[in-house]
Amino acid sequence: MSNRIDTTRLQEMARAYTTSAVLYTALDVGLFTHVSNGYNTEALLAQETGLRPVDIDRLVSCALSLDLLDWDGEQLCNAADVETYLVEGKSRYAGPWMMFTRPDVSGWFQMTEKMREPDSTTLGMYDELTVESARKYHQATASIGFGAARRFVRTVDLSNRRHLLDLGGGSGAYSITAVESFEGLQATVLDLPPVVVATEEYIADAGVGDRVTTVGADFTQGEFPSPVDVVVMASNLPIYNSEVIGAVVARAFRALEPGGEMHLIGEMLDNDRKGPVDAAMWGMNELVCGSEGRAHTRSECEEYFRSAGFSDVEVTDFVSGTLARCFGRKA
Ligand SMILES: C[S@@+](CC[C@H](N)C(=O)[O-])C[C@H]1O[C@@H](n2cnc3c(N)ncnc32)[C@H](O)[C@@H]1O
């Protein structure tokens, strides 16, 4: 085997933005939805989208080389994940989530300036939330949050629990799914005041208004509703620095009854910080969004839990390569 090095991977990295741009455009023009609906040749796609054949040729070449599309004989077909998550109208359509960070693109390309002239607040992007922007935001988070919540209730048995507190619960995905799965359970979603307006709409749609309530509050301040016997905090971790996360975990500990448990689910770095890349990038996203947040390692999360007083603390994979789950029990 040759040990010669070359520039291939560095060149790919320098132009990695092209991959995001192609995915956004494919979604803009409904490429995967059209293919799924039988417009599965370039001629049919050009006809259906009204785009020039040369642009369809370019887009299809990119999508094939990125393994988004494949050949089925002479016809195009979607890759399995694309067919499941990127075809509009399908129950697991996650297009809103894929497009969710698109408005941040220009900010990512101003990172150097942002580092040289930092302008950050504790809440970052959440300072500016309105009811309307919260609705739009959670249309995106719900498109993957309910899937993650189903995974949570398959992984964690809450059948003997009575009250779940869902910190930064957003669409209510975890609370709604948990009460639907565990008969005796009630839940409280605590989220910022504009967000809980949207949360209540998800709760009403699911018909669980008698079992899931909301509290409009900032979880970086004040004590939490108590007593509860489970606390979940999902997909908030890199928004905040160690001081804030440590304080939230400590207040969650105080809110729990003896014997209660907490689950912190988020993008966590391995302890040597050599990955996952996604966790590191969510930390950097906070520079772009103007908060003080950063990526936390698994051992840092365990330390927040132990310092708060939790025992049986452990971090396990939640979605391998993306999300981890830190667990702790109050003795
Ligand atoms: C990425 S969403 C995750 C929503 C939900 N936990 C899920 O996994 O589907 C993050 C949520 O945390 C909420 N959040 C962030 N900071 C907060 C704070 N300081 N207080 C209350 N909620 C907060 C946001 O408003 C948003 O709804």
Residue pair 95/86 in contact (Cβ under 8 Å)? The answer is yes
What is the pLDDT, as a whole number, of residue 1?
57
Task: Using pLDDT thresholds of 50, 70 and 90, give the confidence band for residue 2.
Answer: low
Domain of 128: which CATH number? 3.40.50.150
Show the ligand 1 pocket: residues with CB < 6 angstroms: 123, 126, 141, 145, 148, 168-171, 173-174, 191-192, 195, 218-220, 234-236, 239
What is the pLDDT, as a whole number, of residue 331?
97
The residue whose C-alpha atom lies closest to atom 4 belonging to ligand 1 is: 170
With 90 as the cut, is the pLDDT of residue 3 above it?
no
| 158 part of a folded domain | yes
- Domain final residue pick, 93, 128, 160: 93
Q: Which of 232, 236, 267, 322 to mutate to test the pocket of ligand 1 (most atoms within 8 A of CB)?
A: 236
> Do 177 and 144 share a structural domain?
yes
Residue pair 252/262 in contact (Cβ under 8 Å)? The answer is yes
> Do 154 and 245 share a structural domain?
yes
Domain of 70: which CATH number? 1.10.10.10
Residue pair 167/252 in contact (Cβ under 8 Å)? The answer is yes
Question: Atom of ligand 1 at shortest distance to CA of 144?
Answer: 9
**Residues 102-114: what's their mean pLDDT?**
97
The residue whose C-alpha atom lies closest to atom 9 belonging to ligand 1 is: 145
Q: Is 49 exposed, middle or buried (0-12, 13-18, 19+ CB in 10 A)?
A: middle
- Domain final residue pick, 68, 93, 118: 93
**116-136: pLDDT as tens digits:** 999 999 999 999 899 999 999
Q: Tell me the HSE value of 50 on the side-chain side, using a 13 A CA sphere.
A: 2
How many domains, in total, are found in the chain? 2
> Do 45 and 12 share a structural domain?
yes
Mean pLDDT for the chain overall: 97
| 101 part of a folded domain | no
Domain that holds residue 34: 8-93
What is the pLDDT, as a whole number, of residue 321?
87
Task: Using pLDDT thresholds of 50, 70 and 90, give the confidence band for residue 286.
Answer: very high
Question: Atom of ligand 1 at shortest distance to CA of 220?
Answer: 19
Question: Atom of ligand 1 at shortest distance to CA of 170?
Answer: 27
> Do 209 and 134 share a structural domain?
yes
> Do 121 and 54 share a structural domain?
no
The residue whose C-alpha atom lies closest to atom 15 belonging to ligand 1 is: 168
The residue whose C-alpha atom lies closest to atom 14 belonging to ligand 1 is: 168
> Do 271 and 203 share a structural domain?
yes
What is the pLDDT, as a whole number, of residue 35?
98
With 90 as the cut, is the pLDDT of residue 330 above it?
yes
Q: Which of 139, 190, 191 to mutate to test the pocket of ligand 1 (most atoms within 8 A of CB)?
A: 191
Question: Atom of ligand 1 at shortest distance to CA of 148?
Answer: 8
| 215 part of a folded domain | yes
DSSP string for 33-65: HHHHTT--SHHHHHHHH---HHHHHHHHHHHHH
- Domain final residue pick, 45, 61, 93: 93
With 90 as the cut, is the pLDDT of residue 33 above it?
yes
